[in-house]
Structure 1
Amino acid sequence: MAKEREAEHPEAAEDKLSSKAERKKRLWSDRYQSVREVPFEALPKVAVIGRPNVGKSALFNRITGSNKAIVFNEPGVTRDRLYTRAEWTGHEFALVDTGGLMSSAAQLPTQEARAQASRDISAAGLPSAIERQAAAGVQESHSIIMVVDGKVGLTAGDEEILDWLRKSHSKKPVVLAVNKCESPAKADLQAAEFWNTGLEPFPVSAISGAGTGEMLDSLVTKLPDIDQAEIDVAAPISVAIIGRPNVGKSSLLNALVGQERSIVSSLRGTTRDAIDTELLLPDGRQFKLVDTAGIRKRAAIASGKDGAETLSASRAMGAIRRGEVAVLVIDAIECTESGRFVVPTQDFRLAELIANVGRACVVVINKWDAVEKETNTLRDYQKEVLAQLRPVSWATVVFTSAVTKQRVMQILDAASLASENHRRRISTATLNMVVKETVAWRAPPQVKNSYRKGRIYYATQAAASPPTFVMFVNDAKLFSDDYRKYFERQLRDNIGFPGTPIRIFWRGKQSQRDRD
């Protein structure tokens, strides 16, 4: 009777399989999705700008209640634009963290920001690229938070940025946040000097949160109303673009969205944060693309001189866990240097991570235009990729070039299909028909020197994302690893699930489990 009840109510089996933490996380996710009615594109945008090291990223984290922006005591850590949702007294908006403005503000792009940002840049041009990203963030924003250093006081750089804002963006309201005012007794004195700018200064502390409430009260009064016609409850497909440094992740993101959303440079480690970009296709499909920092081996990170790299790698791995589909980008040139296709060890480890956290996967072989080809090169390499990346042997492989945009849109098609299969559910009746046919083709093996033989009573799907199945059997120990792999292959051959992992749990009788 207990087994029958579990077959009729697969959610009961799901609850038994899931840990308390996983169930809590799922409930929170469902609750969040139910109240998140405004799509990201419809939210008013607020850009956080200022000189390097004034605390822009720390204030960004304080306002959003997160640690998405990397905070490190070194100028130039923030490079790309980082977006996330924020809310204050019922007003929701998109907050944009930007890199520090260092060079002449008069040379920063305004109307031509996107046109200039489309150019390729070299490592030597990285500072100007950071500023183009910041300028593009200001260009698309509705309001601006100008962050200054209360300990240093008003500088020529601050005045230069304010002059640029008045000349190029005079219609956009600016809120002046005087950061690093940790002492309540000295806060007003530190802010007093900034009255000369013609703006009302708000003394704040990104560390303690002091004064941020008053600053946000002023900010939300300057935000435009949200267009109710744009509200859509459909959640986008979250796609994390991951890989080793310099494999072309940011170039692929820029090719997909049609603009310089992430900085592209020959300098390793250009991308620091996990950069979210919302994309709406003409056919109505919505994606949230997350560009991440390159992930090197732990030993290489530990021995490196870049103190922020550890935080960047942590953000990248976090993007895999919070996403639904992971796009693993591999450098085709590196893989073919030896004359045959060889996947680097670090790519194999990233594939293991994707499979272990249960995310759907698309493997992208980038820079394919630089590989010498014959008639069957693509087909042969596809077999090699899946054979060498055993943890994600079920993944879809796409051969692309971010430079020529060859097959770039196939990445989104493959991600969409992988997401669909990742969420897919199969009826218990259909599943048990496949189980019956699978056992008929190859019966469970009999234990050597024993009369005992494995028996499968029935199966049910306990969960989705990823698809999780429970096989109710007489004794789970009677089913060898070889037979379990055969069973998974049959499920894939008969039902499908391309692009997503599937999990199968073998559950024996209660009396047998008690004896064990």
Structure 2
Amino acid sequence: MKLIALVGKPNVGKSTLFNRLVGRRQAIVGAEPGVTRDRNISLVQKKGLRYLLMDTGGFEPEAEEGIETKMREQSRLAVEEAEIILFVLDRQSGLTEQDREIYQYLRSSQKPLYLLVNKTDGDSHEADLGEFYELGAADLFAVSGEHGRGLGDLLERLAEDHPDLIFEEDEDARPEEIMSIALLGRPNAGKSSLANAILGENRLIVHHEAGTTRDPVDQEFRFQGNNLRLIDTAGLKRKARVSQQVDHYSMVGSIRSIERCDIGLLVIDATAGVVEQDARIAGYIVERGRGLVVVVNKWDLIEKDSKTLKKMEQEIRDQLNFIDWAPILFVSALNNQRVPKLLEKALEVYEQYCKRVKTADLNRILEEVTLRHNPPGKRGRRTKIYYGTQVSIRPPSFVFHTNDPTSINQSYHRFMSNQLRQYFGFEGTPIHLFWRDRSGNKKNEDPKSEPKK
């Protein structure tokens, strides 16, 4: 899957374009230059195209210190990782010397480069585009992130130039029977060592320096009669000058691996504990509806007593409370400790990920649950749940028909999720609940994740 990066100086409207292309307000948008300080990545699957889109902080080539320096480095990282670059210019401010410097840098990357003149909100504004042709680009795309103007022409050109962006609707069904496992986690958590332990041979470069897995690596193997594919998160083709940005940079590889896997193994360094990036990766796994096992690696390096394991498990539960349904395993890749158990657990989670509940069993439990705990009413009217059905697997997804979907609050949504887990298991997999009225209209639902506690 190709990565497309939006790059440009501060306050040219990159985040507005990002939100328009993604189709929801995900990037923070503000009038003050530099509001987007980090990089924001999202899967886009619209208009017959599928790709990863990255928003970046403003590119300031001359930045020497402070947040501007970080924003510049983030933008350089985006350029190095992306396969396609969208250079965003501002019609209102006109062509500046800063734009010229950025353009020369982007040209030197030798990546496919498209120039977007943003804030072109009407035909009369196109008269202002002449000066931008001074850059020497053959084509300019006059666009408006605010109103969506001109983006259709841009997407058509991208599809024409990059046919691999085009996808058929049924491609996402992933009909393969082979189970794909992705090793996910921050650099130096021991993912490659764990991959070698799983595969039983030294196939991947292992080094104490963070980010030594240079290229994406897939390995197919058999375990207990099952065909498995192991994805070792990579894409860390970093340079020495950006060594401090590895944590941010590696997120791109993690997201790509999540898109391709069935089960994500979130590898946590036992010597460091849970860090912010671990939580971010876990959030992406849940958002994309993949199975999840938390793997605490380097357990051999921890001084232990009879309470150490329980204490650390509780700390992980507290810090990652939105995935309390995910199993936690403590392993040592170096000593091959509990590695076979890890694969067994991944297979168990995959079974839950693909589980289908019979409609009769679901409604029998639904009747028991609603007798004990009715959903909240609204304006004195009792809320009734008539019946439920499971509509899909990978992950398990359920539709419940009710007389008032808007009365189902987050508390009851979470309660019903927990009840389904209590009766049917679903260890290690997110479950999606949809609430509909009798006519089948969707209301009050969030198919991407279960509510946080």
TM-score greater than 0.5 by the shorter chain: yes
Candidates 325, 339, 353, aligned match of 1:422? 353
Letter in 1 for 2:403: N
Against the structure 1 CA distance between its residues 332 and 510, is the aligned structure 2 distance closer, same or farther, given a 3 Å change threshold?
same
Shift of 1:465: 0.4
Residue 254 of structure 2 is aligned to residue 316 of structure 1:
yes
Determine whether 1:390 maps to 2:321.
yes
Report the Cα offset of residue 270 of structure 1: 0.5
Q: Secondary structure at the match of 1:334?
A: coil
* 2:269 aligns with one of 317, 326, 331: 331
Q: Is structure 2 residue 412 aligned with structure 1 residue 471? A: no
Written as runs of structure 1 = structure 2, the 5 A alignment for 1:53-68 is: none
The one-letter amino acid of 1:430's match is: D
Deviations 1:192-250 (A, max 9, x none): xxxxxxxxxxxxxxxx9xxxxxxxxxxxxxxxxxxxxxxxx983210000100000000
Aligned equivalent of 2:218: 276
What displacement does 1:359 show? 0.2
Q: Is there any run of 5+ residues in structure 2 with no aligned partner, and where?
A: 1-43, 50-80, 84-160, 162-174, 444-453
Pairwise CA distance, 1:268: 1.6
One-letter amino acid of the structure 2 residue matched with residue 278 of structure 1: E
Match of 1:256 among 180, 186, 198: 198
Please say if residues 243 and 294 of structure 1, whose CA atoms lie closer than 8 Å, have aligned partners that are also in contact.
no
Partner of 2:34: none
Q: How many percent of aligned residue pairs carry the same amino acid?
A: 38
Give runs of aligned pairs for residues 119-130 of structure 1, distance below 5 A: none
Amino acid of the structure 2 residue aligned with 1:273: D
SS of aligned partner of 1:245: coil
d(CA) in 2 for partners of 1:260, 1:368: 20
CA contact (8 A) 1:453 1:478 kept: no
Q: 2:208 aligns with which of 266, 289, 294?
A: 266
Distance in 2 (CA, whole Å) between partners of 1:390 and 1:368 is: 22
Summarize the Cα distance change of 1:398–1:477 in structure 2 as closer, same or farther, 3 Å threshold.
same
Q: What amino acid does structure 1 have at the position aligned with 2:254? A: A
* Secondary structure of the structure 1 residue equivalent to 2:272: helix
- Cα shift at 1:316: 3.0
Is the partner of 1:333 in helix, strand or coil?
coil
* CA pair 475-234 structure 1, distance change in 2 beyond 3 A: closer
* 1:433 aligns to 2:364 (yes or no): yes
Superposed, 1:94-493 pairs within 5 Å as 235-281=177-223, 283-293=224-234, 304=242, 313-335=251-273, 343-447=274-378, 450-493=379-422
Quick one: which amino acid aligns to residue 326 of structure 1?
G
Long gaps (5+) in structure 1: 1-19, 26-69, 73-207, 209-232, 336-342
Tell me, yes or no, if structure 1 residue 498 matches structure 2 residue 427.
yes
**Matched length:** 278
Distance apart, 1:291 and its partner CA? 0.6
The alignment's C-alpha RMSD in Å is 3.3
Task: Indicate the SS of the match to 1:304.
Answer: helix
The separation in 1 between residues aligned to 2:280 and 2:246, in whole angstroms, is: 22
Offset of 1:313 from its aligned partner?
4.2
8 Å CA contact retained: 2:182, 2:263: yes
Match of 1:136 in 2: none
Distance 1:481 1:309, change over 3 A: closer
Return the structure number with greater helix share. Answer: 1
Aligned-partner residue type, residue 333 of structure 1: T
Q: Normalized against structure 1, the TM-score is what? A: 0.50
1:441, distance to aligned residue in structure 2 (A):
1.5
Query: How big is the shift at 1:362?
Result: 0.7
Q: 1:445 deviation in Å?
A: 2.0
Cα separation, partners in 2 of 1:463 and 1:475, compared to 1, 3 Å:
same
Q: Is the 8 A contact 1:254 1:262 kept in 2?
A: yes
Residues 350/312 of structure 1: CA separation in 2 closer, same or farther (3 Å cut): closer
Are 1:243 and 1:295, in contact at CA under 8 Å, matched by a contact in 2?
A: no
What is the deviation of 1:295?
A: 8.0
- Name the SS of the counterpart of 1:430 in structure 2: helix
Structure 2 CA distance for aligned equivalents of residues 396 and 511 of structure 1: 35
**Paired residue for 1:162?**
none
* Contact map agreement 2:186 2:247 (CA 8 A) in 1: no
Aligned residue type for 1:291: D
What TM-score do you get using the length of structure 2 for normalisation?
0.56
Show the counterpart of 1:90: none
Query: Equivalent residue of 1:354, what SS?
Result: helix
Counterparts in 2 of 1:306 and 1:377: CA distance versus 1, 3 Å: closer
2:111 is aligned to none
For residue 241 of structure 1, give the secondary structure of its aligned residue in structure 2: strand
AA aligned to 1:432 is N
Q: Is the 8 A contact 1:476 1:506 kept in 2?
A: yes
Q: CA deviation at 1:311?
A: 7.7
CA distance in 2, matches of 1:379, 1:430: 35
Q: Distance in 1 between matches of 2:263 and 2:279?
A: 17
